[in-house]
């Protein structure tokens, strides 16, 4: 078996030793011996030793109440340290004889390949410069790590980088290890779990911190490398204003089912983003003012600044004063509404122009080497982040808009909007959109719910256009859903266009997406209000929860095909917004492969997708990691634009239809129709406990009820904690099994070989099956599930086993991930530390269910730590 890289193994071992020393100092040698006994028992048990498994269980069972929390913390901390080492290993220094990571070379290799295929240099440069990729950062209820700990983890990664030199002296190496020892001790003595739920503003600040500490540095570095790759391939450069990847956010704007996100919260988050952007640019401009002390300047710059011995500093000091005025105003406006004064920067051009004057002047005067340094980095940031840092999306459920309009039409004596059919709604909305008079009299007093909808629309109307992204409508299903938002925004005084985006989520809505957009684009006057592309959001989480990933994946694919064709017929540009989560069950998986597997024509230089909570940290938490992931996005969108994947053959399409039909039938037979399923789910998983934990600002449920009322994230998260991973694979075992019985293995192998969509689905299925573990799931059943429900658990584990066997047969392997032994070994090593946490968690759940209250108890803290540790060990958990 291929082993984990020796350098990674050494780093994990070093961090583990330092953690052991820290625990020993606090709790003594006997406790550390007990931890080691648990670890060795777990390791032996994983190798098939019954004695080892028995030792593990007996040692855990013998723990005193006051040992449960520290044992859980020890294994949790080790998994987090292993994650840090693994993350750093991806970006570590390479020896001269080592190949650069795929993520670092993917764009260079793609450009050379495209050039060899006959793409002209000018065409490649134009396409790369025009790419429009937007990553939408979203809050995440399964991001359980506190910000203060994340900062310590980042500092540990920085010390690993410092240690990664062969020429360190003994003293230097000792200082670095002493710093690592201190940081690990700080992490150990810091409480892992927040005591109260974060507010939406807290979540937004967490997103801003990722920009400040990572993306602010990563973006100019990434663009510098992309520019160099383009030069090497074509001799041409990216334009100064090029910003192929930008950022938006749902933190503080996503009010769908979250009563904590209000109009006031959105206003506050917009101002905080303005403050943070001004503060970050001030740091850059202060540095530039110190560096650009040159006297020689172009006539254009001198005309702009007048007679001055240090013209660059003069320009930058003017910009600095305006940035200070902007920051001061934003801070004051947080306390009370305050109109911006004349010195406040209003438009990103006001930020860019002084910097461009300096850049062009330096080049004109033969000082290009200076222009290409920190000044170019600042220009790249300004082009990417603008004055507003991230564009805030607003999201609300279609039912809230319909309820507001029902109240309004009822008040006006026009009848009840919610009782009208689609034609009546559409005609009313179109008439009112064309009407110059207000819809409501000034003395109207709406209910609290309608007042909040209208107040949100007023925030949108009053905010600068560049500070906002899209207005997303959850559970959209008809053209009236879009027109309703346009009318409410018009009523709030909005006089400029904003993208109003229907989100198609359920299986039925995805099937109806093409016809709905066709009707929308055909409505009189709608096109006149459409500035730019028609944006449509595809929901992955709720569609998978509704129908299983087999049917959901195919419905998402077909919906995109239909939308591409509809927009082509209407001669309208299409922008697809992918609502992906971190897990396979929510549309997650490697972004590069996912983009290249989209339907042909669906990625035409534009791509928008969500990046969620824990995955933001894992992909963008360190600047070098962020660079790699931005590079992957850029290369994938360029390749999908210029070399779209093949359209599926008729036989593949027919096979996928059968797989989807049989997959949804099998999935719903369990999740919706089995009379014991809901009760089993609640007993076998920590679903109910997760709802009580302070994981995020949003409630776990949209409303009271069973599985259908659950949000997709806790639904996935609960099954991940027990390692059954049910939502990610249920339905595939029946669909693929039936296909094999029909003798379709050669067809499935052909689809996997030649169709990127199908290959990616099978690859992601294999990944989730490799992380699933029926023996762990059985352990939860043994401790938590009543006798009458255990046969259902056994049945589900049998289906999991069938799914594994079928995937192995389809991929021609003797074991999952046989083609990637390093990945398999990484999962195996993590299991040694995960197994004790699973056993502890099952025990903690059993004990907690026997007590009335756990608030602030050591038992609750230990349970939370077990949740965090399992999430850390499995990475893409929610």
Closest C-alpha to 320, from 353, 284, 348, 294 = 284
Is 688 exposed, middle or buried (CB count within 10 Å of its CB: 0-12, 13-18, 19+)?
A: middle
Residue 397 dihedral angles phi and psi, to the nearest 5°:
-75, 140
Closest C-alpha to 277, from 219, 333, 216, 332 = 216
d(CA 536, CA 209): 29
Helix (H) or strand (E) holding 136: strand 132-138
The 3-state secondary structure of 302-341, one letter per residue: HHHHCCCCCHHHHHHHHHHHHHHHHHHHHHHHHHCCCCCC
Catalytic, 140? Answer yes
Closest C-alpha to 104, from 115, 93, 114, 113 = 93
Q: Which of 545, 578, 771, 838 is the catalytic position?
A: 545
State both tokens at 277: 């952007």
Q: Write the CA distances from 485 to 400, 510, 700, integer angstroms.
A: 10, 20, 26
Q: Write the CA distances from 424 to 127, 416, 428, 800, integer angstroms.
A: 44, 11, 6, 49
Place of tokens 């255990």: 790
d(CA 400, CA 397): 6
Buried b (16+ CB within 10 A) or exposed e, 99-138: eeeebbebbbebbeebeeeebeeeebbebbbebbbbbbbb
Closest C-alpha to 633, from 294, 222, 229, 76 = 222
Q: Which of 34, 140, 304, 838 is the catalytic position?
A: 140
The 3-state secondary structure of 796-859, one letter per residue: HHHHHHHHHHHHHHHHCCCCCCCCCHHHHHHHHHHHHHHHHHHHHHHHHHHHHCCCCCCCCCHH
Q: Write the CA distances from 629 to 590, 632, 634, 638, integer angstroms.
A: 10, 5, 9, 14
d(CA 592, CA 598): 11
Q: How many CB atoms lie within 10 A of CB 740?
A: 13
Beta strands 245-249 and 606-612 are unpaired
d(CA 710, CA 690): 12
Q: How many CB atoms lie within 10 A of CB 441?
A: 8
Contact 523, 517 (CB under 8 A): no
Q: How many CB atoms lie within 10 A of CB 839?
A: 23
CA dihedral 199, 204, 206, 211 (to 10 degrees): 180
Catalytic residues: 140, 545
């Amino acid at each position: 078996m291929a082993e984990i890289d020796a350098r990674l193994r050494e780093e994990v071992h070093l961090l583990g030793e330092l953690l052991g020393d820290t625990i020993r100092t606090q709790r003594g040698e006997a406790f550390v011996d007990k931890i080691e006994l648990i670890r060795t028992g777990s390791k032996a048990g994983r190798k098939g030793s019954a004695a080892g498994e028995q030792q593990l269980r007996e040692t855990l069972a013998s723990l005193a109440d006051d040992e449960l929390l520290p044992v859980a913390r020890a294994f949790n901390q080790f998994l987090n340290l292993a994650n840090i080492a693994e993350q750093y290993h991806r970006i570590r220094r390479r020896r001269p004889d080592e190949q650069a990571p795929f993520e670092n070379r993917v764009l260079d290799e793609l450009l050379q390949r495209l050039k060899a295929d006959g793409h002209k240099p000018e065409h490649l440069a134009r396409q790369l410069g025009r790419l429009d990729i937007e990553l939408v950062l979203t809050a995440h209820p399964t991001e359980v790590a506190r910000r203060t700990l994340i900062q310590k983890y980042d500092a540990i990664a920085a010390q690993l980088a410092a240690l990664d030199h062969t020429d360190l002296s003994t003293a230097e190496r000792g200082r670095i290890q002493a710093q690592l020892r201190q940081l690990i001790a700080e992490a150990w003595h810091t409480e892992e779990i927040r005591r109260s739920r974060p507010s939406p503003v807290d979540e937004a600040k967490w997103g801003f911190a990722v920009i400040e500490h990572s993306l602010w540095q990563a973006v100019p570095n990434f663009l510098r490398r992309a520019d160099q790759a383009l030069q090497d391939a074509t001799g041409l450069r990216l334009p100064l204003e090029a910003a192929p990847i930008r950022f938006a956010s749902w933190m503080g704007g996503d009010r769908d089912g979250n009563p904590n996100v209000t109009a006031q919260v959105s206003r506050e988050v917009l101002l905080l983003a303005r403050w943070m952007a001004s503060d970050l640019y001030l740091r850059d401009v202060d540095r530039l003012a110190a560096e650009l002390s040159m006297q020689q300047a172009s006539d254009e710059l001198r005309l702009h600044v007048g007679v001055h011995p240090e013209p660059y500093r003069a320009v930058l000091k003017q910009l600095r004063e305006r940035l200070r005025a902007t920051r001061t105003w934003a801070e004051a406006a947080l306390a009370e509404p305050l109109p911006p004064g004349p010195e406040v920067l209003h438009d990103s051009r006001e930020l860019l122009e002084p910097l461009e004057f300096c850049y062009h002047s330096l080049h004109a005067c033969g000082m290009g080497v200076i222009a290409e340094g920190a000044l170019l980095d600042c220009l790249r940031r300004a082009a990417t982040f603008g004055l507003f840092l991230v564009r805030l999306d607003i999201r609300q459920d279609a039912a809230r808009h319909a309820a507001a309009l029902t109240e309004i039409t009822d008040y006006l004596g026009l009848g009840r909007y919610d009782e009208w059919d689609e034609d009546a709604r559409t005609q009313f909305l179109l008439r009112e959109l064309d009407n110059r008079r207000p819809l409501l009299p000034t003395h109207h007093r709406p209910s609290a719910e309608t007042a909040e909808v209208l107040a949100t629309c007023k925030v949108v109307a009053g905010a600068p256009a560049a500070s906002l992204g899209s207005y997303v409508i959850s559970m959209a299903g008809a053209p009236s859903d879009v027109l309703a938002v346009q009318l409410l925004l018009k009523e709030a005084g909005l006089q400029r266009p904003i993208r109003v985006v229907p989100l198609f989520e359920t299986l039925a809505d995805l099937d109806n997406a093409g016809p709905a957009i066709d009707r929308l684009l055909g409505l009189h006057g709608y096109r006149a209000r459409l500035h730019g592309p028609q944006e449509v959001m595809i929901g992955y989480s709720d569609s998978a929860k509704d129908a299983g990933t087999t049917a959901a994946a195919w419905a998402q694919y077909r919906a995109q095909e239909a939308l591409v064709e509809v927009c082509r017929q209407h001669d309208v540009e299409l922008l697809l917004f992918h609502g992906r989560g971190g897990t396979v069950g929510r549309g997650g998986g490697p972004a590069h492969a996912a983009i290249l597997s989209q339907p042909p024509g669906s990625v035409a230089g534009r791509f928008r997708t969500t990046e969620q909570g824990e995955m933001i940290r894992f992909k963008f938490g360190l600047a070098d990691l962020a660079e790699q992931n931005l590079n992957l996005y850029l290369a994938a969108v360029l390749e999908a634009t210029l070399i779209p994947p093949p359209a599926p053959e008729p036989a593949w399409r027919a096979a996928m239809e059968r797989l989807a039909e049989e997959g949804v039938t099998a999935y719903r037979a369990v999740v919706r129709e089995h009379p014991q399923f809901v009760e089993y789910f609640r007993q076998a998983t920590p679903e109910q406990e997760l709802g009580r934990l302070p994981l995020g600002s949003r409630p776990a449920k949209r409303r009271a009820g069973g599985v259908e009322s659950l949000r997709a994230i806790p639904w996935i998260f609960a099954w991940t904690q027990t390692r059954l991973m049910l939502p990610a694979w249920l339905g595939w075992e029946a669909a693929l099994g039936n296909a094999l019985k029909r003798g379709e293995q050669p067809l499935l192998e052909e689809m996997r070989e030649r169709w990127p969509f199908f290959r990616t689905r099978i690859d992601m299925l294999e990944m989730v099956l490799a992380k699933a573990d029926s023996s762990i799931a059985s352990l939860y059943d043994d401790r938590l599930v009543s006798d009458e429900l255990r046969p259902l658990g056994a049945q589900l584990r049998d289906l999991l086993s069938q799914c594994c066997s079928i995937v192995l047969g389809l991929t021609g392997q003797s074991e999952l991930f046989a083609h990637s032994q390093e990945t398999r070994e990484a999962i195996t090593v993590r299991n040694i530390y995960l197994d004790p946490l699973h056993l502890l968690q099952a025990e903690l759940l059993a004990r907690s269910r026997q007590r009335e209250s756990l608030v602030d108890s050591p038992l609750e803290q230990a349970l939370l730590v077990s949740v965090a540790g399992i999430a850390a060990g499995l990475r893409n958990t929610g």
